[in-house]
Amino acid sequence: MDHATYLKEHIRTVPDWPAPGVQFRDITPLLQDPTVFRTLIDTFVNRYKEAALRPTVVAGLDARGFIIGSVVAYQLGVGFVPIRKKGKLPFTTVEETYELEYGSATVELHTDAVRSGDRVVLIDDLIATGGTMMAGCRLLEKLGADVIEGAAIVDLPELGGSEKLRASGLKLFTLVDFAGH
């Protein structure tokens, strides 16, 4: 069995959450089983240990991107940078606001989190509309970093986020796709 199929079997679908008609893709079962969690992390680490894709920094999006990104950074022996929701970081920040289905949100990054020329892999758990990952990418680029790839466990291609991110020039790596949303 390939890694994608194995991981997909451990993602729980919660119907009608947080709203009727939504099929929520819950990654917590991936984290609860140590064998599955190791497979998940090893899949990302094996990709990013190759010289052409090796980052100098891994950035994770609030909040599930922290779980995956920090462990991947540790395994690669590089630093980890959290991109947080507005108001959660104590030092000087840059911020980026993006549109949600109903309203907007803002994410922040410390101004000293990355340096010009850093090679960054930006990690989150899921790509839906792509807004959060695009905002994170813009923050990193504002500080001079080169986002070499965006990565996520799950892609929901019908929502158009991965297509939008690729059209912007961001390379993407996802492990599993789910039809619908």
Active site residues: 64, 101
Determine the angle formed by the axes of helices 34-48 and 64-76, rounding to 10 degrees: 60
Measured CA distances, 149 to 17, 35, 119, 146 (Å): 30, 26, 9, 9
Q: Please give the Cα distance from 9 to 29 (Å, whole number).
A: 10
Contacts of 22 (CB under 8 A, 6+ apart): 15, 16, 181
In DSSP notation, 113-130 reads: SS-TT-EEEEEEEEESSS
